[in-house]
Amino acid sequence: MSRRTEQAVELLLAFADRTGLGSSTPPRRYLWTDAFAVCTLLGVGQSELALALVDQVHHVLGRHRPDDPRTGWISGLPEADGARHPTRGGLRIGKPLPERAPSDPLDERLEWDRDGQYFHYLTKWMHALDQTARATGQTHFATWARELAHAAHRAFTDAPRAGGPKRMSWKRSIDLSRPLVASMGQHDPLDGLVTCLQLEASHAGAEPSLRDAIADFASMVDPQGLVTSDPLGLGGLLTDARRLAQLGPDTDGLVEALLTAAAVGLRHWAAQPDLGAPAHHRLAFRELGLAIGLSSIGVLGTKAGAELLPLSSRVAVELEALRHHVALGSAIVAFWLDPEHRQNRTWVEHRDINEVMLATSLGIG
């Protein structure tokens, strides 16, 4: 085991103990963090803990909150059926405050701490379940991933108004019955498209079918609207480019569009003073998301990567531009590995997600 892998395992075991997975501490589950943790635990040889985490997520975030008058599975299924299909009703985010009641006005600041369901968190969990199925050979994890994709597509995709294009809501209620934030996330259709294509490739012809979901998400992806200067979003673009390249030839030019958008955004972000700022002015998990994405460039730029992604002249140009930023990922990881940089308020306030993202950055290196 390399030193990087040892460090990743140490971080993940501490996270598991602290959040009630490997200890008697009451469970504290958060879907985004747990999705990354499952994938990284599988990657560093901690499959037993990964399976325990999947089970706990379903039994905590697939059920109503303890402070909610509703009880049982959020899908509404009877107890035994809910346990057999724990993702049919989606999964809660795991935020500390209850969701906003239908009669309550929207408070944008407070909404960040309120529970509900996020589409882009659900896609991360679909990916985690797919990876679990691949690692264990147990197909029920793949079924759960598809059932989650089916439920999320139906709930988060809005029917067109007067013939207009379909759209998505960014956040919905715990029972998926109403939007909590009706605007569409910039990369939500892309997350849905890439993840559903991955699930279809993993188990072609399985039920429920994701063909309608793929068609809807594809119709909503705007290749010209993917540029972002947010480091976490940039990391997502790069990771999605790699996942798509692994699925087959870039016949529709989407991989090229993702790499182009990432190259534009990276040039903008790298010109900002953020990386020179002290640790307490930086958000580690957002930067580490970029570091994770940048590791994809190293793969796509190799001979093996070229076999995954036959390079058009345009894609080759974008990859070459992106290769100049690969060292940035290593610099980000090295910065947050320094214990002194993990003593500040912004690290401690987001410790769980920061440590899991750091472990993921180490686990893929």
Residues 22 and 154 in one domain: yes
Domain C-terminal end among 143, 160, 177: 160
Average pLDDT over residues 42-49: 97
- Is residue 15 located within the same domain as residue 135? yes
The reply to whether 128 and 270 lie within a common domain is: no
Q: Enumerate the β-bridge partners of residue 63.
A: 73
Domain boundary among 139, 160, 181: 160
Regarding whether 137 and 236 lie in a shared domain, the answer is no
- Verify that 155 and 9 share a domain, yes or no: yes
Is pLDDT of 305 > 50? no
CB 206 within 8 Å of CB 143: yes
Strands (E) across the chain are located at 117-118, 157-158, 167-168, 171-172, 179-181
**Cβ proximity of 216 and 150 under 8 Å:** no
Exposed e or buried b for every residue in 145-173, given b needs 16+ CB within 10 A?
bbbbbbbbbebbbeeeeeeeebbbbbbbb
Q: What is the DSSP letter of 114?
A: B
Question: Are 31 and 137 members of one domain?
Answer: yes
CA distance 305 to 358: 24
Structure tokens belonging to residue 155 = 């709930």
pLDDT, averaged across the chain: 92
Q: Are residues 27 and 143 in the same domain?
A: yes
- Confirm whether 213 is domain-assigned: no
CB atoms within 10 A of CB 77: 17
What is the arithmetic mean of pLDDT over 126-132?
98
- Is 173 part of a structural domain of the chain? no
204 in a domain, yes or no? no
The letter for the amino acid at 256 is: E
Q: Could you report the per-residue pLDDT of 199-233, keeping only the tens digit for each? A: 999 988 889 999 999 999 999 999 999 999 999 99
Q: Kindly state whether residue 206 falls inside one of the protein's structural domains.
A: no
Domain ranges, residue 93 = 1-99+115-160
3-state secondary structure of 283: coil
Same domain, 95 and 9: yes
What's the rounded mean pLDDT across residues 257-267? Answer: 92
Give the helix, strand, coil percentages of the chain, each rounded to 5.
Answer: 60, 5, 35
- How many Å apart are CA 95 and CA 87, to the nearest integer? 18
Co-location of 267 and 134 in the same domain: no
Domain shared by 133 and 256, yes or no: no
What pLDDT does residue 275 have? 76
Query: Given this model, what pLDDT does residue 252 score?
Result: 86
Neighbours of 341 (CB within 10 A): 16
- Label residue 365 by pLDDT band (50, 70, 90): low
In total, how many domains does the chain have?
2
Confirm if 202 and 134 have CB atoms less than 8 A apart: yes
Residues 136, 235, single domain; the answer is no
Q: What percent of the chain has pLDDT over 70?
A: 95
Structure tokens at 239: 């990771």
Question: Is 67 contained in some domain?
Answer: yes
What is the spatial distance between Cα 146 and Cα 126, in angstroms, rounded to a whole number? 7
Query: Per residue in 77-91, pLDDT tens?
Result: 999 999 999 999 999
Q: 12 lies in a domain?
A: yes
145 inside domain: yes
Amino acid at 12: L
pLDDT for 302 equals: 53
Return all residues near 240 (Cβ < 8 A) that are at least 6 apart. Answer: 190, 191, 194, 258
Q: Which of 114, 180, 187, 176 is nearest to 150 (CA)?
A: 176
Shared domain check, 242 and 127? no
- Is 7 part of any domain? yes
Rg over alpha carbons for the chain, rounded to the nearest Å, is 20
